Amino acid sequence: MRVKSVLRLAQGVTLASVLLVGGSACDSSARTVTAGAATASATTTHRPTSTPTTIPMSLGCNSSVHPASSVIDSGPARRYVALTFDDGPSPDYTATMLTTLERTHTPATFFVVGANVKRYPALVRREAGDGFTLGIHTWDHPYMTKLSPQQRQWELAATAQAIHNVLGANYCVRFWRPPFGDYNDAVVTQARSLGLSTVTWDVDPRDWSSPGVKTIVDRVLSAVHPGAIILLHDGYNSRSQTAQALPLIIKGLKRRGYIPVTLQALLGSQSA
């Protein structure tokens, strides 16, 4: 079951969020590869074992922006929905998806991998230039519950620094998403202490498994609801099916009366 609570996120604005309990993404059985690329490794980067990288508490955000006190997997029950993309940017698929979003005037949110931000800064600048929201998806996509607190802090801090190196120190980074949906209370508490709200999803077409373009579209449109946070991927492995499905998903959402917005707009006081 899901227990709803009202959280104070920014500038005194309340929003309805969902705590994941019971048979949900908090279960260890659900916090597996269902949310990410199976090839992403937690050992590709040497992480510190004792000296953590520091991270600015403000993360470039206004002092009135406060992290949510619990995990968010959906927004208020309005006709707004958030298309979110994990694992990028990638040189093969991100640009194609951005072109689709730009041509259809569709806002979106990108949870970026720090190593990819460093490799492809032009794509990050394009995402931000389009007015899309960027969030942290760690440096190299590890299972966060298997890391030490110092290693987890490095994952978040290094990615935040990479984003700020590209977009400037004043760019507000307020959200992060745990790879594979893998988190526990310690992970969420630590992220919140760094000024980050933990965001998951509640519509998952499992596009990472390449089930077919039609299947991806059908899964999204059959599960979407007011306030939905939709999980898609633009990095790691082949995302050609997601790129082909995206314009069909957007068309289907709009035909059903849904308005795609950025995650910040979905959870904030104003629509985009």
The pLDDT of 234-243, averaged and rounded, is 91
Q: Which domains does the chain possess?
A: 2-37+44-267 (3.20.20.370)
What pLDDT sits at residue 236? 82
Going by pLDDT thresholds of 50, 70 and 90, the confidence category of residue 63 is confident
The pLDDT of 199-207, averaged and rounded, is 97
Question: Is 233 annotated as catalytic?
Answer: yes
Asked if residue 112 has pLDDT above 50, the reply is: yes
What pLDDT sits at residue 77? 82
Got the DSSP string for the chain?
Answer: -EEEEEEEEETTEEEEEEEE-SSSTTSTTTSSGGGS-TT--SSSS---SSSPPP--TTTT--TTB---SS-B-B--SSSEEEEEEES---TTTHHHHHHHHHHTT---EEEE-HHHHHH-HHHHHHHHHTT-EEEE--SS---GGGS-HHHHHHHHHHHHHHHHHHH-TT----EE--GGG---HHHHHHHHHTT-EEB--SB---GGG---HHHHHHHHHHH--TTBEEEEE-SSS--HHHHHHHHHHHHHHHHTT-EEE-HHHHHSSS--
Q: Of the residues 66, 137, 141, 233, which is catalytic? A: 233
Going by pLDDT thresholds of 50, 70 and 90, the confidence category of residue 33 is very low
Give the global pTM. 0.81
Going by pLDDT thresholds of 50, 70 and 90, the confidence category of residue 237 is confident
Question: Is 137 annotated as catalytic?
Answer: no
The proportion of the chain whose per-residue pLDDT surpasses 70, expressed as a percent, equals 77
Of 18-27, 48-57, 139-148, which one has max mean pLDDT? 139-148
In this predicted model, what pLDDT tens digit does every residue of 82-102 receive, in sequence order? 999 999 999 989 999 999 999
What pLDDT sits at residue 81? 97
Q: Of the residues 66, 73, 86, 87, which is catalytic? A: 86
Asked if residue 272 has pLDDT above 80, the reply is: no
Average pLDDT of the chain to the nearest whole number: 82
Going by pLDDT thresholds of 50, 70 and 90, the confidence category of residue 105 is very high
